[in-house]
């Protein structure tokens, strides 16, 4: 299978990526974690795991997701707080609630919320 590479600042190394990595969700989609009680809006996607080894190893082995799948950066929220989350594709579901995400950074990255998803600010797209 053909592969490409990119440098991940979070991982501090170059990452190999299969050229046919397929993301199930897109930037602006509102999603919910499959196991933990939080939801968020996607603001970036890595085609495969591209965070630090320390972060990966901190996940208990019995629930640790595979590296070879898309990972999503979320502006996340739960009952107590707002934060940034990094979540594997296998652990995300489309959010059935469909409402906006109450995260203080949403307005910096996104403009409109329509039909259950956000539109990225025009000034941030290429």
Break the chain into its structural domains and give their ranges: 3-124
DSSP of 71-106: EEEEEEE-SS-EEEEEEEGGGEEE-SS-PPP--TTH
Domain 3-124: which topology?
SH3 type barrels. (2.30.30)
Mean pLDDT of 39-53: 93
pLDDT in tens, 61-119: 999 999 989 999 999 999 999 999 999 999 999 998 778 999 999 999 999 899 889 99
Asked if residues 23 and 70 have their Cβ atoms less than 8 Å apart, the reply is: yes
């Amino acid at each position: 299978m053909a592969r490409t590479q990119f440098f991940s600042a979070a991982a501090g190394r170059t990452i190999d990526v299969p050229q046919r990595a397929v993301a199930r969700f897109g930037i602006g989609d509102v999603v919910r974690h499959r196991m933990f009680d939080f939801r968020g809006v996607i603001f970036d996607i890595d085609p495969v795991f591209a965070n630090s080894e320390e972060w990966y190893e901190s996940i208990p082995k019995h629930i640790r997701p595979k590296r070879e799948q898309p990972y999503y950066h979320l502006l996340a929220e739960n009952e107590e707080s707002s934060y940034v989350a990094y979540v594997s594709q296998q652990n995300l579901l489309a959010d059935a609630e469909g409402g906006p995400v109450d995260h203080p950074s949403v307005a910096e990255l996104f403009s409109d919320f329509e039909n259950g998803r956000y539109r990225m600010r025009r000034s941030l797209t290429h």
